[in-house]
Amino acid sequence: MDLPSLSTDPLALATIEGAKIVAQATTRAAWVQAGAAFGAIVAGALAYFGAVRQVRLQERAHEVRAVAYRFRLSRIVEEYLAQIATASSVAKQQLSSFDAERASARITSFQIARPQTLHDDNWEVHALLGRRAVELILIVDDASRRLAEFDREIGQDAVRTDSHFTSATLKPVVERACEGEGYRPENAIVDYVETLDRLQRALADLKQELTRALEAPSWRNLLRRMRGRRWHQRARI
């Protein structure tokens, strides 16, 4: 069939028109798909940046809350430490007198109340301070409980320096006593001084720990750790 006859052949014209329609439809579909893909990319990018911004806001809120709680707790620890230091000084004087003269005297008890903030029940808010601070708070909690038991017993029974507490530490009578034999309770003033010393050291360490800057959890730090692990694994391979 020659070219002039195409313009008069109805079947050829219909075929060409159909091809044009199909081409136009395909082009439109391609543009629609491209637009949808681009829209999905934009939506994904916006969602990513929104998530990053949300994480940063949460990090900032966590950091501000932790700093505020550290400041508040440091003041409480400082006051509690001063009271314990005074009690420890008096108890050590009594111990020195007892060691020198072996004279029996009633133990001086200041009946110091542990601050409510330092109770172990507040473990959720303590978690803001970091692992080391939490460990020290647990030591403070344990030593404070033991001191409270001693103070209560002193108030009820007027415990003296040469007597012993109900929950006294057991010490061997000789250097190598057999298990279950040759042990006797420690003198009350010795247990009292050791408990105050332990509490004072823990509070001093906690006070120092609270002055350190808290490293807020960061998605950047997490990414660095992940990249470091991947590099280390590849280096091993």
3 state SS of 93 = helix
Per-residue pLDDT, averaged over 102-120, amounts to: 89
Do residues 24 and 112 share a domain?
no
Cα distances from 181 to residues 162, 172, 184, 196, in angstroms, run 21, 8, 9, 29
Do residues 94 and 112 share a domain?
yes
Is residue 195 one of the residues assigned to a domain? yes
- Residues 6 or more apart whose Cβ sits within 8 Å of residue 71: none
Model confidence pLDDT, tens digit, residues 45-54: 666 656 555 6
- pLDDT at site 55: 53
Is residue 234 one of the residues assigned to a domain? no
Model confidence pLDDT, tens digit, residues 30-75: 666 766 666 666 666 666 656 555 655 555 555 556 677 788 899 9
User: Domain containing 83: what range?
Assistant: 61-216
Geometric angle at alpha carbon 69, from 68 and 70, rounded to 5°: 90
Do residues 39 and 65 share a domain?
no
User: Residue type for 108, please?
Assistant: T
Does residue 215 register a pLDDT over 80? no
User: Residue type for 223, please?
Assistant: L
Is residue 8 one of the residues assigned to a domain? no
Pairwise CA distance, residues 51 & 17, whole Å: 51
Do residues 44 and 118 share a domain?
no
User: Residue type for 126, please?
Assistant: H
Pairwise CA distance, residues 210 & 71, whole Å: 8
Per-residue pLDDT, averaged over 73-99, amounts to: 95
Do residues 104 and 36 share a domain?
no
Do residues 65 and 41 share a domain?
no
Q: Count up the domains in the chain and report the number.
A: 2
Bridging pattern class, strands 183-185 and 170-172: antiparallel
Do residues 41 and 140 share a domain?
no
The distance of Cα 16 from the centroid of its chain, to the nearest Å, equals: 75
Pairwise CA distance, residues 38 & 44, whole Å: 10
Pairwise CA distance, residues 164 & 233, whole Å: 59
